[in-house]
Amino acid sequence: MGDRLRLAVGVMGNAASMLLYAAPILTFSRVIKKKSTEEFPCVPYIVALLNCFLYTWYGLPVVSYGWENFPVVTINGLGILLELSFILIYFWFASAGGKKKVAMMVIPVILAFCITAIISAFVFHDRYHRKVFVGSIGLVASVAMYGSPLVVVVSLLLFPQCFISSLDSTAKFVIYIYIYIYMHSYIHFLPYFQLQKRVIKTKSVEYMPFYLSFFSFLASSLWMAYGLLSHDLFLAAPNLVGSPLSILQLVLYCKYRKREIMEEPHKWDMEKNGEKSKQQLQLVVHGKI
């Protein structure tokens, strides 16, 4: 009965996560239509990509015991494909500066995952330590995806104390160097966590879509239940943080959903209008000649 319930919750979690990963399709339809990324941040999709990489690896038999976390592998594998697609679309329509920022964030993400996979496969020789290590890094990435930098930093600082003490000196050195690199790379993602601040400041939810916050709440709640039923701290803990943060986003949306943002035209609008005016001026000049 317990296994059936866990499987059922896992299937529902897969469905909710699929909706969450597919939710940005509407956003990117707008990006493609306007041929501009406007003020939409790319960081959520890059952090989500790291999260999918880590939990796909976490669910594979290399780290987990057999296929005990098969639902985790399937949904995060799909998530990798979707997030990569969104990032490529964003990169295509971003400005030169935007492309540079995307590259500066994607490269550390790929490196972080590769280093995590290599360390877990070659430094640790049993699945317990592999699960603890990959799960701890995945926990940090998941919390980052839900938008809490304070909890991320605390998680990075605390998890080694309850885990690294059992390792030899060489393994400890490798882990601490990795943590330093991971925290340094995390600095690149801090601007995303200003999104909630931006919503409160501008009193507009234009760039914080409702469906993204809602599906985030739904998925985090179901995966929290799955983690608790599986007695897996590294599946339950990040979603325990994610659920209230998603609720906070929903509260912000409900509060400011009827407000319209009042600010200067976006740079891409100004450039577009400027180009249009220039063409009209040329037509007038040619007409006079």
Instruction: Concatenate the DSSP letters of all residues of 247-258 into one string.
Output: HHHHHHHHHHTT
pLDDT at 182 over 60: no
- Does residue 289 fall inside a structural domain? no
The CA distance from 215 to 220, in Å, is 8
Closest CA relative to residue 177, chosen from 123, 231, 216: 123
Q: Are 72 and 59 in contact (CB under 8 A)?
A: yes
Q: Are 253 and 213 in contact (CB under 8 A)?
A: yes
- Does residue 184 fall inside a structural domain? yes
Q: Identify the residue whose tokens are 């912000």.
A: 252
Q: Identify the residue whose tokens are 């393994």.
A: 171
Domain containing 12 equals: 2-262
The CA distance from 251 to 132, in Å, is 34
- pLDDT tens digits, 209-232: 677 778 888 988 998 899 898 888
Q: pTM for this one?
A: 0.70
Tell me the average pLDDT of the chain.
75
- pLDDT tens digits, 60-91: 999 998 888 888 999 999 999 999 999 999 99
Closest CA relative to residue 132, chosen from 52, 237, 225, 47: 237
- Does residue 235 fall inside a structural domain? yes
pLDDT for 86 = 93
- Does residue 278 fall inside a structural domain? no
**What is the number of domains present in the chain?**
1
- Ranges 146-155, 160-169, 194-203: which has the least confidence: 146-155
pLDDT for 68 = 85
Over the range 220-253, which residues count as b (16 or more CB within 10 Å of their CB) and which as e? bbbbbbbbbbbebbbbbbbbbbbbebbebbeebb
- Does residue 154 fall inside a structural domain? yes
- Does residue 280 fall inside a structural domain? no
Six-digit token pair at 125? 């020789």
Q: Are 57 and 134 in contact (CB under 8 A)?
A: yes
- Does residue 227 fall inside a structural domain? yes
- Does residue 276 fall inside a structural domain? no
